[in-house]
Structure 1
Amino acid sequence: MERTERGIVVTLAGELDLYNADALRSALLALSAEEPERLVVDLERVRFIDSTALGVLIEARSKLPNRRGFMLAAPRLATRRALEVSGLDRHFSLHDTTGEALAAPV
């Protein structure tokens, strides 16, 4: 995790699924409770994401006062595809890099 002037960046890696969803939920909800201007979830190193982990992202986004401040950055093809198939790509602010996410308007 990195705190910047523009928000908080959380870097996730590996597989995000049922087995680690509770830890992911705890971490993201704690950060959401801080009400940062932006909470950027860096997905560049995520190899797999299942519906449970997608649900955690939705839940964390819903806890921010300004939901547009919850951003996903650098999703790999498989992660982007999971977002598209589920229709969630239309509900999240998606960016190619964390830098773009931090610079994006909220």
Structure 2
Amino acid sequence: MTTHEGVPVVRLHGDLDEENVHDLDRLLAAAAAEGSTRTVVDLSRAHFVDSSVLHALLDAHAAHERAGAVLVLAGPLHVPVRRLFEVTGTAPAFHMADSLEAAITW
């Protein structure tokens, strides 16, 4: 996790599945607990994410709401990542921005 203009940013790269989701859970929980008004998950370099990653994002979204913060997903999203949100019908649950810069200023 890094900070960009005072906003915690979690950057995801490559193919992500249940084998590496535990680090994501930990990072997103820490971000929610930090007290920032917003956390950004940069998915622009994620080529594939599976349902375990989606579940981690949904959990993080709920944790951020409970903390009075916003979780913003930044793209642009690669087709397989975008399709996961579309096929599962979860896209409306998230705040999504077309770029990291747009997500930072959400």
TM-score (norm: length of structure 1): 0.88
Q: Distance in 1 between matches of 2:34 and 2:97?
A: 22
| Residue equivalent to 2:51 | 51
Q: Is residue 31 from structure 1 mapped to residue 23 from structure 2 by the alignment?
A: no
Percent pairwise identity: 35
Deviates more, 1:58-67 or 1:88-97: 58-67
Give CA-to-partner distance per residue, 1:9-44, whole Å, 9 cap, x none: 111101111111112111111111112111000001
| Residue equivalent to 1:88 | 90
Q: Distance in 1 between matches of 2:52 and 2:19?
A: 9
What are the residue-to-residue correspondences of 1:1-106 with 2, within 5 Å? 1-64=1-64, 65-66=67-68, 69-74=70-75, 75-104=77-106
In the alignment, structure 2 segments of 5+ residues that lack a partner are: none
Deviates more, 1:28-37 or 1:1-10: 1-10
Q: Distance in 1 between matches of 2:47 and 2:84?
A: 11
RMSD between aligned alpha carbons? 1.4
How many corresponding residue pairs?
A: 103
In the alignment, structure 1 segments of 5+ residues that lack a partner are: none
Q: 1:13–1:43: 8 Å Cα contact kept in structure 2?
A: yes
Q: Distance in 2 between matches of 1:99 and 1:8?
A: 13
TM-score (norm: length of structure 2): 0.88
Per the TM alignment, residue 63 of structure 1 is displaced from its structure 2 partner at its CA by 1.0
Per the TM alignment, residue 6 of structure 1 is displaced from its structure 2 partner at its CA by 4.8
